[in-house]
Chains A and B, each alone.
Chain A
Amino acid sequence: MNKFIDPILVLVLLLNFVVLGASRMRTLIQAVALQGILLGILIALAHGSLMVWVALMALVTILLKGVVIPRMLFDAIRDVVIRREVEPLVGFIASLFLGAVGTGLALLFSQTLPIARSDMGSLIVPAALSTVLTGFLMLTTRTKAITQVVGYLILENGVFIFGMLLMEAIPFLVELGVLLDLFVAIFVMGIIIHKISREFSSVSTRMLSELKE
């Protein structure tokens, strides 16, 4: 394990808090973009040796999570007037508090997990769990379609961090497939956000409440 991995994971965790406390869409998307770039760097570090496919994988991750997907999200909100998440179901301070509790629990919980000896003491497992929790928190407490997509991205980032533990088990082809699926998912979600904003003149998912029992 490289000695730079844990400091970068700490940065990733801090970005989770930025996301939980931010109300401006721009800040949200920039934070997720930065998190994506850090994940790309992590891939290169986690492997130690810079083989061609590792470098390629890191590059694809940085490009996709750090540049292309944030660009698509910016495009999706460009035509929409709303720039802020103003009506979260749980306030920003409360979200930050919940995020802190979640991270604390993730750190404690990881101590009790049966982790392989080589991975002991690393922040990978707690960082992954805490990021997944942050994603869930965003998905359930925010009402704008775009913030929910950001929540989904953070959740996916959390899963991705856990994937660092099994670089050998997951072939390059499959990792590329996972990233491709993510790209297409965000692409389709972007189109739908655009349609929602045209149909309802708002990107709030509160408008999406016609279908119920």
Chain B
Amino acid sequence: MAWLLFLVPLLFAAVTLVVPSNRWRPWLVPIGGLTHLGLTAVALIGEPVSALGGWLVLDPLSTLVLGFVSLMFWICSLYAPAYLALRPDRSNRVFCACLMGMLGMMSLVILSHHLGLMWVAIEATTLTSAPLLFFNHNSRSLEATWKYLLIGSVGIALALLGTFFLAYSSIREGLEPTLLLDDLVHLAPRLSAPWLHAAFVLLLVGYGTKMGLAPMHTWKPDAYGEAPGLVGALLATGVTSCAFLAILRFFQICHNAPEAAFAREILIFMGLLSMAVAAVFVIRQRDFKRMLAYSSVEHMGILVLGIGIGGLATFGALLHMITNGLTKGVLFLSAGNIHRAYERKNTDEVSGAIRRLPISGPLFLAGFLMVTGSPPGGPFISEFTILIGTIHAGKYWIAGLFLSLLAIVFIGMGATVLRVVQGTPSAKALATPYRDRPQLVIPIILFFVLALSLGVMIPSPLETQLHQAVAYLEGGHP
């Protein structure tokens, strides 16, 4: 079972490489996505998944992430055929293969309980997403891809050094060297403290680069600004969730060591810094796709902040990973449609999206309202939970800072989004051939309904899973 979860997408990737028809090839992506979703469902309700002598394990935390990423990918994949049909001039062979390859590598990251293997898989997600960013083949996407690849690879190299430091912290104390998560969690109290400190910092910088935490976020506005909306959605939810999971793995080890307080402080600091940097850059942001990138930096900050505070806020952070991800799906895909319709992404030239695109336009506005925490959207519930958790923990000034930064981002994003959706579209924008069509809006509506319904009610299986994940993360020995 564990093998199938990442080998089947790779098989689909291989098949897309040999299918000759540019027109029919994209349909393999939703079929592959659906197959993966089916396998995930079997894995979730079936027997515990474990393979390769404890290297590949589905624990409560990875179960949550796997379910989310698989669902996310499937909905995004529904968008792919119609999107690629808009670009018949361009071969989509590499694009489709990389999409499926990325799904396979994300599954491998999620399943890995061996930290070395996890590193290999995370680097592979960087490499499979580079050709996706370069899909537009122009000088701007070239620049974005180069920055993404170089900054991402350097960050990931530091994470490898951190992984090595972690392994060395056990050798230093004369313990059997290991990189298996379960062993390290058991050994945590006996690991060498200075090496563990250094390892956590390097890993947070390394995987934080991948996640897009400030100040290592500089690739993000360029990459999300130039990537097709579909790729932006997958990067902002799937890949960043995998990097977040990697950070959680190391947090889990530190949590069982005397270094827990140190790890928490540094997470809180990074979280608030990311939110503050996003708040500064989101104000007067003219490019609405770059604005989404800063929103992503902000929400990655909220995730690590929640983990840093712990307890109820951890529950909120894990829920926020899902609610923010679903809302980002709404935003990136509808922004992609608006970009297609106007062929511009600067608010000086884009206005009146509600009139120009009667479905994508309002969904973009609704997505903005939800992602900034307006009730009754899903992110409202998760952000509120994190806030309550912060107050319960007695960290009043952090709660105050959290609320004020959320308010600043709301105002900053609001100015840009309202410029996009209000007003009248220019004659040039009305003349472009793009029209909203079912295949391009159904995935957005699906994301919207899911994100909204999580705000109204959290289904009990999800709630149970979230509680189990929190217990697994913070409860000590597995």
Decide whether A and B are members of one complex.
Answer: yes
A residues with a Cβ closer than 8 A to B are 113-116, 132, 139, 145, 148-149, 152, 155-156, 158-159, 162-163, 165-166, 168-171, 173-174, 177-178, 180-181, 184-185, 188-189, 192, 195-196, 199-200, 205, 208-211, 213
Within 8 A of A (CB), among B119-178: 119-120, 123-124, 126-127, 130-131, 134, 139-140, 142-147, 149-150, 153-154, 157, 160-161, 164-165, 167-168, 170-172, 174, 177-178
Q: Give the CA-CA distance A213 to B280 in the complex, in Å.
A: 11
Interface of A is mostly: helix
Contact of A155 among B114, B154, B177, B179 (CB under 8 A): B154
| Chain B residue contacts of A158, Cβ below 8 A | 161
Q: Give every chain B residue within 8 A of A114 (Cβ-Cβ).
A: 172, 192, 194-195
Instruction: Give min CB distance, A68 to chain B, whole Å.
Output: 16
Q: Are A159 and B120 in contact (CB under 8 A)?
A: no
Query: Contacting A174 at CB < 8 Å: which of B116, B149, B171?
Result: B116
Interface-side segment among B220-228, B343-351, B352-360, B436-444: B220-228
Starting from the known contacts A162-B168, A211-B144, 15 additional A-B residue pairs (CB-CB under 8 Å) come to: A114-B195, A149-B150, A152-B157, A155-B154, A158-B161, A166-B167, A166-B168, A169-B171, A169-B177, A170-B167, A180-B120, A181-B127, A185-B127, A195-B142, A199-B139
Q: How far is the CB of B445 from chain A (nearest CB, A)?
A: 32
B460 to A: closest C-beta gap in Å: 39
Which 7 pairs of residues, A with B, have the shortest CB-CB distance?
A169-B177, A177-B120, A174-B116, A208-B143, A169-B167, A181-B123, A211-B222
User: Chain B: interface secondary structure?
Assistant: helix
The verdict on B418 contacting chain A, using a C-beta distance below 8 Å, is: no
Alpha-carbon distance between A158 and B158 when the two chains are bound, in angstroms: 10
Q: Does B117 contact A (CB under 8 A)?
A: yes
Q: How far does the Cβ of A40 sit from chain B's closest Cβ, in whole Å?
A: 18
- Which residues 210-232 in B have Cβ within 8 Å of A in the complex? 221-222, 225-226
The verdict on B27 contacting chain A, using a C-beta distance below 8 Å, is: no
A145 CB contacts on chain B under 8 angstroms: 146
Given contacts A188-B130, A208-B147, contact A116 B174 (CB under 8 A): yes
Q: Residues of B at under 8 Å CB distance from A?
A: 114, 116-117, 119-120, 123-124, 126-127, 130-131, 134, 139-140, 142-147, 149-150, 153-154, 157, 160-161, 164-165, 167-168, 170-172, 174, 177-179, 192, 194-195, 221-222, 225-226, 281
Instruction: State the CA gap A199–B177 with chains docked (Å).
Output: 49
Q: Show 9 residue pairs from A and B whose CB-CB distance is below 8 angstroms, ordered by the A residue.
A: A115-B172, A159-B157, A166-B164, A170-B164, A185-B123, A188-B127, A211-B143, A211-B222, A211-B226
Q: How many A-B residue pairs have CB under 8 A?
A: 118
Set of chain B residues within 8 Å of A205, measured between Cβ atoms: 146
Query: Which of chain A's residues has its CB closest to B144's CB?
Result: A211
Contacts of B124 in A (CB 8 A): 181, 184
Most chain B CB within 10 A, of A114, A145, A156, A166, is at A166
A185 adjacent to B149 (CB under 8 Å): yes
Report the separation of the CA atoms of residues A192 and B149 in the bound assembly, to the nearest whole angstrom.
10
User: In the complex, what's the smallest C-beta–C-beta distance from A127 to chain B, in angstroms?
Assistant: 13
| In the complex with contacts A116-B172, A139-B154, A211-B225, A171-B116 CB distance below 8 A | yes
By beta carbon, the residue of chain B nearest A176 is: B120
Measured between beta carbons, the chain A residues less than 8 angstroms from B165 are 162
Cβ–Cβ contact B149 & A162, under 8 A: no
Interchain CB contact under 8 A, B172 and A174: no
| Cα separation A2 to B439 with both chains bound (whole Å) | 65
Question: Quick one: closest A residue to B118, CB to CB?
Answer: A174
Q: Which residue of A lies closest to B160 (CB)?
A: A159
Nearest residue, chain B, Cβ from A129: B161
The smallest beta-carbon distance between A21 and chain B, in angstroms, is 22
* Complex contact B149–A188 (CB within 8 A): yes
* Residues of A with C-beta under 8 A to B281: 213
Nearest CB in chain B to that of A168: its residue: B177
Assess whether B120 is in contact with A116, with CB atoms less than 8 Å apart.
Answer: no
Task: Give Cα distance in the complex from A91 to B147, angstroms.
Answer: 24
Q: How far is the CB of B211 from chain A (nearest CB, A)?
A: 18
Chain A residue at minimal CB-CB distance from B124: A181
Give CA–CA (A209, B144) in the complex, Å: 10
Closest chain A residue, CB of each to CB of B153: A185
A209 to B172, CA, bound (A): 45
Q: Chain A's nearest CB lies how many Å from the CB of B246?
A: 15
A178: chain B residues at CB < 8 Å are 116, 119-120, 160
Contact present for B171 and A165 (CB under 8 Å): yes
Which B residues are CB-close (under 8 A) to A155? 154, 157
**B150 with A148: CB separation less than 8 A:** yes
Residue in chain A with minimal CB distance to B123: A181
B157 contacts A156, C-beta separation under 8 Å: yes
Q: Which residues of A contact B140 (CB under 8 A)?
A: 210-211
Q: Are B172 and A162 in touch, CB under 8 angstroms?
A: no
* Inter-chain contact A170/B179, CB cutoff 8 Å: yes
Across the interface, do B164 and A159 meet the contact criterion of CB distance under 8 Å?
Answer: yes
Chain B residues with Cβ below 8 Å from A171 are: 114, 116
CB <8 Å contact, B142 and A196 = yes
CB pair B150–A152 under 8 Å, yes or no, is yes
In the complex, A158→B202 CA distance in Å? 14
Closest B residue, CB atoms, query A180: B120
Closest chain B CB from A11 CB (angstroms):
22
Which residues of the partner chain B approach A208 to less than 8 Å between Cβ atoms? Answer: 142-143, 146-147
Please, which residues of chain B bring their CB within 8 A of the CB of A209? Answer: 143
